[in-house]
Amino acid sequence: MKKVLIVPGNTFVSRNYFSSPMIESLKRISIKDNIKIIVAEIESNPIPEETFDKLKKIFEDEHNIQFVKLIKNPESPFQRIIWYLKNNFFHKTITYRFNEINNFITQKRFKEITNTQIDKDNEKYLWNSDIWPKYFGFPFPKSKFIFKIFYFIFSSFLFSNNKIIDENLRDLKPDLIILGDIQNPVSFSYFKLSKKYKIRICGNVRTWDHLTKNGPVINGLDEYWVWNPIMKEELINFHKINENKIFEVGSPQFDYYLNSKEANKDLIEYFNVKDPINEFSLKTDSSLLFFATNRPHRGIGEESIIHHICENIALGAYPDKDITIILRSHPYDNTFVKRFEEFKKYPFVRLFSSPSLTDFIPSEFREDMIKVNLLLERAKLVLCGQSTFAIDSACTDTPVINISFEGDVKVDEKLSVKNRYNVDHYQKLLSFEGTKIADSFESLDEKIIEYLIDPTINNQGRNLISRNFAGFSEKPSSERISERILLNLNGGNGRI
């Protein structure tokens, strides 16, 4: 029996792998091809023991997947110092220098925010990743030679050796390791030790914005898996990865969008998912607006924007007179109900709370993915900030409006929603002209009216987005990833 060890490295990766059709693909090859699938936790740090035990039972009892420890927390003072230096200095240093060397738009925005005197009223709108002190690039931030020195130290055995990882590889003896995030410090450790034990190792780029923001990828993997052709180009041009080692596999989170309406009905019945059309009491002749909200520090002023839309709906200011609007929470937003409860006073407003990623249950996120798929197919328009929801919407050819202002909230220009679009990945998405940007209440109303009158506007751009960002192809992503796994294991039992 051959063994595959999956190291997700991030909860979003875990959601995309284990709450999508990918989980069935893994289960299928484990049975048909006699392959043992092993998963090392769900994120980049050890999870609480209670959470580990709960997920171990789910993975092993329901999916025939062994669930093991990811990494051992540092115990001795020396180990804690090494851990701190690796994660809080060396990783940030190589990220800063890599972004400087490549002159990324995102890095310029980070530097502008870091150099701006932010008053106390605006500090609540800062992101954790906004502040990058200059000392990470001292001296000579664009020096490739100094970058290589720091990269060598960061990826050395001194910072990679870990008892749990070593035990995992020595005792489990996997034939293949799959890394879910090839820019994560823990993935560098798994890579270094995989070479010690001569184990084949492939890596997945976690998400579409990371190659121009999160620093260098691991050099020397056997294969690199990306969502789309743009990410492939970024790996080649910025990370200097051999083109022959890069494979476009899409992302399993988008697989449900490939289903026919009949297939989606079957999913609802098979997984016992409550049909969102009934759950949210959506009338057949009502036009549906889907607003993907964000966390307060990212979706600045969303409350006032939603209030404006609701008042216009109530007054009949839009062409469609019967409109329902669904407000969808971000999976990390624990303020959603408190912030948007007031809108339930409008009879046409529905609140849609997504599961919390801090308490990851695979089946809950599967149900959420299926519901979002069905609602986007039903929706006449999607509104969101600088969000991946623009890609989701393109997958169902649903018109998208990107919110690029803060409603009636006043905020420093450097922290503004508009300035959040000054990042490499979103500038590329906007260049395909598949969305419309609203930068004021007036332009928001104009674009809502335009799309309600003619939803085919920008449909060519949306098609380009679905192919160039979601990585749509004839085969779903979960099938393409399964094929790569079998090929890396020399074809399993010869099926490929």
Q: What percent of the chain has pLDDT over 70?
A: 99
Distance, CA of 229 to CA of 469 (rounded, Å)? 8
Q: How many independent structural domains does the chain possess? A: 3
Final residue in a domain of this structure, among 137, 154, 171: 154
Tell me what pLDDT residue 102 has: 98
Nearest to 225 by CA among 252, 200, 250: 250
| Interval 451-479 mean pLDDT | 96
245 in any annotated domain: yes
Tell me what pLDDT residue 178 has: 98
Residue 373 has pLDDT above 60, yes or no: yes
Confidence tier at 491 by pLDDT (50, 70, 90): low
DSSP string for 45-107: SPPPHHHHHHHHHHHHHHH--EEE---PPP-SHHHHHHHHHIIIIIHHHHHHHHHHHTT-HHH
In eight-state DSSP terms, residue 288 is E
Whether residue 364 sits in one domain with residue 410: yes
Burial of residue 475 (CB within 10 Å: 0-12, 13-18, 19+) is middle
Residue 427: count of CB within 10 angstroms of its CB? 13
Task: Quick: pLDDT tens for 440-449.
Answer: 999 999 999 9
Whether residue 81 sits in one domain with residue 66: no
495 in any annotated domain: no
| Interval 362-373 mean pLDDT | 95
Paired with 328 in beta bridges are: 292, 352
Whether residue 185 sits in one domain with residue 87: no
Final residue in a domain of this structure, among 100, 125, 154: 154
313 in any annotated domain: yes
Whether residue 289 sits in one domain with residue 247: no
Tell me what pLDDT residue 494 has: 45
Distance, CA of 338 to CA of 340 (rounded, Å)? 6
Distance, CA of 232 to CA of 308 (rounded, Å)? 41
Kindly provide the residue ranges of all beta strands, DSSP E only, lying in 117-220, ordered along the sequence.
176-179, 200-204
194, 177 contact by CB (below 8 A)? yes
Kindly provide the residue ranges of all beta strands, DSSP E only, lying in 109-187, ordered along the sequence.
176-179
373 in any annotated domain: yes
Task: Quick: pLDDT tens for 379-429.
Answer: 999 999 999 999 999 999 999 999 999 999 999 999 999 999 999 999 999
Torsion angle, alpha carbons of 252, 255, 257, 261, to 10: -150
Give SS3 for 290. Answer: strand
Mean pLDDT of the chain: 95
Tell me what pLDDT residue 474 has: 86
Residue 430 token pair: 């906007």
493 in any annotated domain: no
Confidence tier at 357 by pLDDT (50, 70, 90): confident
Whether residue 306 sits in one domain with residue 212: no
Final residue in a domain of this structure, among 106, 126, 154: 154
Residue 328 token pair: 């969808």
Whether residue 360 sits in one domain with residue 229: no
Distance, CA of 454 to CA of 452 (rounded, Å)? 6
246 in any annotated domain: yes
Residue 493 has pLDDT above 70, yes or no: no
Q: What is the CATH number of the domain that holds 296?
A: 3.40.50.2000
| Interval 201-214 mean pLDDT | 97
Tell me what pLDDT residue 161 has: 87
Confidence tier at 495 by pLDDT (50, 70, 90): very low
40 in any annotated domain: yes
- Supply angle C-alpha 22, 18, 250, rounded to 5: 45
Whether residue 300 sits in one domain with residue 169: no
Whether residue 141 sits in one domain with residue 236: no
Q: At what angle do helices 362-378 and 261-270 cross, to 10 degrees?
A: 150
Q: Is 406 left (phi over 0), alpha (psi -120 to 50) or beta?
A: alpha
Q: Which structural domain, as residue segments, surrounds residue 54?
A: 2-72+162-251+476-488
Whether residue 144 sits in one domain with residue 175: no
- Give the β-pairing of 176-179 and 66-68: unpaired
Task: Quick: pLDDT tens for 179-193.
Answer: 999 999 999 999 999
| Interval 228-243 mean pLDDT | 98
Whether residue 265 sits in one domain with residue 324: yes
Residue 219 has pLDDT above 90, yes or no: yes
Residue 335 has pLDDT above 90, yes or no: yes
- Which residue bears the tokens 């738009």? 105
Whether residue 262 sits in one domain with residue 244: no
Task: Quick: pLDDT tens for 90-139.
Answer: 999 999 999 999 999 999 999 999 999 989 889 899 887 889 999 999 99
Whether residue 269 sits in one domain with residue 398: yes
Amino acid at 431: S
Tell me what pLDDT residue 496 has: 43
Task: Quick: pLDDT tens for 5-57.
Answer: 999 999 999 999 999 999 999 999 999 999 999 999 999 999 999 999 999 99
| Interval 267-286 mean pLDDT | 94
Nearest to 278 by CA among 291, 265, 294, 263: 265
